[in-house]
Structure 1
Amino acid sequence: MTAVEVAVRERAALGEGPTWDSREQRLIWVDILGSRIHTYDPAGGRRTVMVTEQHVGAAKPRAGGGLVVNLRDGVAVYDGIDGFRWLHREIVPGRRGNDAAVAPDGALWFGTMRYDEAPGGGSLSRLAPDGTARTVLDSVAVSNGTGWSPDGRLMYYIDSPTRRLDVFDVGEDGLPLNRRQLAVMDEGFPDGLTVDAEGCVWVALWDGGAVRRYTPEGNLDRVVELPVQRPTACAFGGADLTDLYITTARTGLEAPHPLSGSVLVVPGAGKGLPQPLFAG
């Protein structure tokens, strides 16, 4: 039986986006509706919390220092030199930033969604290191997990209401081609994802109370049952990238589990991949 432990006991409304920062040896995660960026050092137990300007969908380490963040009105940087500055601003009433990921080439892929989750109200865009932004997928409902195979030749993507895990080929320009279905979830809704060193895709199931692992062929080969109803995303971390961290939510639940909103961890769950830094 897989051992699930509590890494950070918290009451986050919508915990999301765990990312392992290898430079600082810490976990970064956000509470979207709480407008907070959290960090956690598992070796020393140190935690920090930063309040953001707006609802924050994701926060990722940046090669030049600080964090790149996907906010309600666009993408910005928090760093120790300039403090806060926008990289790409696109104000759409009723819409906010959601999950984001850094590609092997250092570009940031950032998703959006409407607060009412209306179909077609969201998008997935790419912010290149030179600051050029391009919408790659429009007519998305809830843009969520995005990740790449170990060799960078495949891109995985989730639009949660579809209940699908999709896969693309990656072209020479870094853009996705040939979208196709890899797997369909029969319980809950797929949310955030991470790809391990074997090329398998781990998917957190919102309202499914579990994390599932799918092979590159789309076969379900492992299920980690959780004590909470709404896991949101997962990422490998720790010094050897073998611990699976899982963020969770309590928003919308009439009687949330006492651990809803906390960060859970499955020690020794597998072997993760080092996460690229945003190069912009």
Structure 2
Amino acid sequence: MPKEIIIYCDESVQKGKFYSNFYGGALITSDHIDEVRKCIADKMLQLNLGSEVKWTKITENYCEKYIELIDTFFNMVAVGKIKLRVMFRQNLHEAVGLSDQHLEDQFFILYYQFIKHAFGLKFVRPRPGKTRLRLYLDQLPDTREKAEKFRGYVAALGANRAFVDAGLTIDKQDIADIESHSHPILQCLDVVLGSMQFRLNNLHKEKPEGARKRGKRTIAKEKVYNHINRRIRQIYLNFNIGISTGVRDNPANVWRDVYRHWLFIPSDFRIVGEGKHKRRPRHD
């Protein structure tokens, strides 16, 4: 393993029509981080994408530029220089037995679960010495006090037995809030994450009020999503964006796979509309 693992994290739509609480991450090791940063930055310069790249900024005029940038991004995903993870929750799975504090802290609780489990870090093969874990989080949408408490919980993963056995270390000083406009990797992640919530919440079908046809921006966004979907399916044939990616009889594939989705389902939940409680095994 390399000396460092760097993970860029982003979050999107906390409440959607069908799916909510979207989290995304891009993992790059210290062996590739300089190459990845330069490759994306050079492509953005070539395409004259001077302002911040974001899913919400996609227009008909910029559609092809975004597709070309995403191709550059996914070319590095396909060869394992970037690993992508997306987590989300389906609204029909309603958690039961939550306290008011749980509900208030839901954003950070889910974020913590995403960081701890989505990349399968416990399956990292230890190297001689330690592997340093760095986290770059898009600016957290809450109070400074809550953000600081959250960083403390994430830093405590360094003492988790699975992380220790994997040779991973994480210090609070290595968990940083960043501004996406200064980080092209995070901007590309925003586009991928935005495309998933767009499609899963059927926003590709939306029409302006009183209109018979979809707007040009919606059509442009659908084109970008479709291209991202094609790139994923080049990696995993018949990939289903709405469910958790299977491990194919090997739990370590949660770490090895270059692209994965995780449909988060609470340990104790009911299906909205049925009123029946169900339980599932906890994700250790």
TM-score bin, normalised by smaller chain: under 0.3
Question: Whose radius of gyration is greater, 1 or 2?
Answer: 2
TM-score between the two structures when normalised by the length of structure 1: 0.26
User: Quick check: which one's helix share is greater?
Assistant: 2
> Of Structure 1 and Structure 2, which has the larger fraction of its residues in strand?
1
TM-score (ref. length: structure 2): 0.25
Bigger relative contact order (CA 8 A; separation at least 6): 2
